[in-house]
Amino acid sequence: MFDNFGFFFPRILEGLPQTVYATLGGIALTIVLALVAGLAMLSRLRVVRFVARVYVEAFRGTSEVVQLFWIYLVVPILVGFQVVPLAAGIAVLGLNHGAYGAEIVRGAVQSVPKAQVEGAVALNFTPAQRLRRVVLPQAFVEMLPPFNNLFIQLLKSTALLFFINVPEMTRQVEVLRPNFGESLATMYGIILVLYLLLAIVITGVMRWLERAAARRLGRRPPSRTSALAKVSAGGVG
Amino acid sequence: MTWDWDYAREVLPKLLEGLLVTFEATVVGSLIAYVLGLVFAFIRRSRIPVLSQVVWLFVEFVRSTPLLVQVFFLYYVLQPELGLLWTSFLTGSIALGVHYACYTAEVYRAGIDAIPVGQWEAATALSLPRSRVWLGVILPQAVPRVLPALGNYTISMFKETPLLIAIGVVDLVGEARGVGAQSYRYVEPFTIAGLLFLLLSYPASILVRRLERRVNRQH
């Protein structure tokens, strides 16, 4: 079973950077889109709210696999040039999870007590200052645990890039599958463990951020619980 | 390239056929997830040594790794190893069900934890047998509370079914890919597929939200 280990293990590891790029790129795009769309949903302008709503519902209401094929196969026909698979993948990961993230941002901003905003108004803060100095730092602490779940969902979704031939870990195993059928259990085992380790890294970073953000607000840092991901209800939405 | 209505009308019946497969997989997967999730929650709660920890590890592992890889593992490794001859549809639905059971287990756990301690105490004071405590007192109160969360998971399962095309299940997206490959026209099939998903999951999520509000009002 382990005869060809030295051969296929490096091949699988070659896919790891691609998985990491897709995850990091997806997370970066998710953060930007979630903040923009989340705040847009709270805008006073009806048009802005409507546009943000359409984006969020469109991406939450359809399947991620469909979105992937759509961006990879349909968009090139419409705009006239081929997209690099990894770029198309990052775009879908970001757009899809950004829509879920927008709801998190909206909820977190709404959860900041009204008196905080009123206090900032009384202190003659400009709207931008209110948002940046008062509302967002408090909302940020609320956002971190659900964003942790969201990023782990995103990491798991990078496996879907298999469908558009991004040479990430799952695709690497698929390429090796016809020739190393007898070692399949080991190969899948390896990537499952790698995904698990990446998920633990994400949770570790997010926990650290949570403590740092709570300390900045003068709150007691949240207690350390299980190091494994606690993906709560509604994670995939 | 413009939108071709004739072609769209032509491929629609095929896509609806695929949609039926997507539905079936979602229903089978949901049933497994609802039952197995409750079993997992029971085992975790009963604190049977070893078994309880094994279930905990399994649940955490499944939730931290991609469903697609789990589907491959079940289809290419576990299923032949056990000498089973499951079709790709059955394998895929079971994989979906087991994956989501690891999420619903947490939902049930939260629902059971939300039952006031007094209910347990009263059941003990009446010296009800263990089975009556669960079936007559705890579950009838816990299950309605968790229904909206279970509904949400069914909706997300519906949207994740298309990844079963990786093992050859021809669902809505599988059909879209098939007809697209035949004619080299992908715009219409994939756009219709996306719209069908939206058309079904959006009203469903509104219904779940309404159910949620009703449950919250009752408690």
pLDDT class for B219, splitting at 50, 70, 90? low
- Within a domain: B180: no
At residue A227 the predicted structure's pLDDT band, cuts being 50, 70 and 90, is very low
For chain A, the average pLDDT equals 88
Please indicate, yes or no, if residue B48 is contained in any of the structural domains.
Answer: yes
pLDDT category of residue A183 using cuts at 50, 70 and 90: confident
What is the per-residue pLDDT for A13?
93
Beta carbons of A61 and B198 less than 8 angstroms apart: yes
B166-184 burial, b for 16+ CB within 10 Å, e for fewer? bbebbbbbbbbbbbbeeee
What are the tokens at B43? 């085992």
CA closest to B202 among chain A residues: A61
Q: How far, CA to CA in Å, does B152 sit from each of A105, B61, B107, B140?
A: 20, 21, 11, 20
Contact predicate A134/A64, CB 8 Å:
no
Please report the pLDDT score of residue A2 as a whole number: 57
- What tens digit of pLDDT does each residue of B103-142 get? 999 999 999 999 999 999 999 999 999 889 999 999 999 9
Write the pLDDT tens digit of every residue in A69-88: 999 988 888 888 888 899 99
B168 pLDDT higher than 60: yes
Q: What DSSP string describes A202-213?
A: HHHHHHHHHHHH
Q: What is the CATH number of the domain that holds B67?
A: 1.10.3720.10
Q: Where are the domains of chain A?
A: 5-216
Q: Model confidence at B99, in pLDDT bands (50, 70, 90)?
A: very high
- Residue A221: pLDDT over 70: no
A7's tokens: 């051969």
The two three-digit tokens of residue A218, written as one number:
């003068």
Which token pair is B165? 């095309």
Residue B184 within any structural domain of the chain: no
**Position A72, amino acid:** Y
Q: With contacts defined as CB-CB under 8 Å, which chain A residues touch B37?
A: none
Which of A124, A68, A127, A129 minimizes the C-alpha distance to A93?
A: A68
Distance CA A99, CA B103 (A): 21
Mean pLDDT of B27-52: 93
* Chain B CB contacts of A190 below 8 Å: none
Q: Name which of A60, A78, A184 is nearest B77 (Cβ-Cβ).
A: A184
Q: Judge whether B85 lies within some domain.
A: yes
* Domain presence at residue B142: yes
For A142-172, the pLDDT digits (tens) are 999 999 999 999 999 999 999 999 999 999 9
How many angstroms separate the CA atoms of B126 and B133, rounded?
A: 10
A231 has pLDDT over 50: no
Percentages helix, strand, coil for chain B (3-state, rounded to 5) are: 85, 0, 15
Which string of DSSP letters, residue by residue, matches B114-157? TS-HHHHHHHHHTT--HHHIIIIIIHHHHHHHHHHHHHHHHHHH
Query: CATH top-level class for A5-216?
Result: mainly alpha
> Touching check for A237 and chain B: CB below 8 Å?
yes
- The distance in angstroms from the start CA to the end CA of chain A is 39
pLDDT of residue B83: 86
Classify residue B2: in a domain, yes or no: no
Domain that holds residue B116: 19-170
Tell me, what's the pLDDT at A65? 94
* Residue A224, pLDDT score: 52
**CA–CA gap between residue A180 and residue A167 (Å, rounded):** 18
The predicted-structure confidence for B182-215, as pLDDT tens digits, reads as follows 888 888 999 999 999 999 999 999 999 999 898 8
Q: Is the pLDDT of residue A134 over 50?
A: yes
Residue B1 lies in a domain: no
In this prediction, residue A122 carries a pLDDT of 94
Distance CA A63, CA B203 (A): 15
> What's the gap in Å between the CA of A5 and the closest CA on chain B?
17
Q: What is the pLDDT of residue A226?
A: 43
Count CB atoms within 10 A of the CB of residue A92: 27
Judged against a pLDDT cut of 50, whether residue A203 lies above it is answered with yes
Q: C-alpha A22: how far from its chain's center?
A: 10
Q: Nearest CB to B68: which of A69, A162, A200? A: A162
- Classify the C-alpha dihedral B125-B130-B131-B135 as positive or negative: positive
Tell me the nearest-neighbour CA distance from A93 into chain B, angstroms: 14
DSSP SS3 for A2: coil
List chain B residues with CB under 8 Å of A88: none
CB contact under 8 A, B160 and A200: no
Contacts of A63 in chain B (CB under 8 A): 159-162, 173, 193-194, 197
Chain A residues closer than 8 Å to B106 by CB:
232-233
- Chain-centre distance for alpha carbon B31: 8
Long-range contacts of A150-153 (CB under 8 A, 24+ apart): A150/A30, A150/A97, A150/A100, A150/A101, A150/A104, A150/A235, A151/A23, A151/A27, A151/A30, A151/A97, A151/A202, A151/A206, A152/A199, A152/A202, A152/A203, A152/A229, A152/A231, A152/A235, A152/B64, A153/A97, A153/A100, A153/A231, A153/A235, A153/A236
Q: Find all residues with CB under 8 Å of A50, minimum gap 6, and list them.
A: none
Interface mutation target, options A1, A53, A66, chain B, most CBs of B under 10 Å: A66
How many domains are contained in chain B?
1
pLDDT tens digit sequence for B41-92: 999 988 888 999 999 999 999 999 999 999 999 999 998 888 888 899 999 9
Token pair in block for residue A107:
């909820």
Amino acid B181: pLDDT: 87
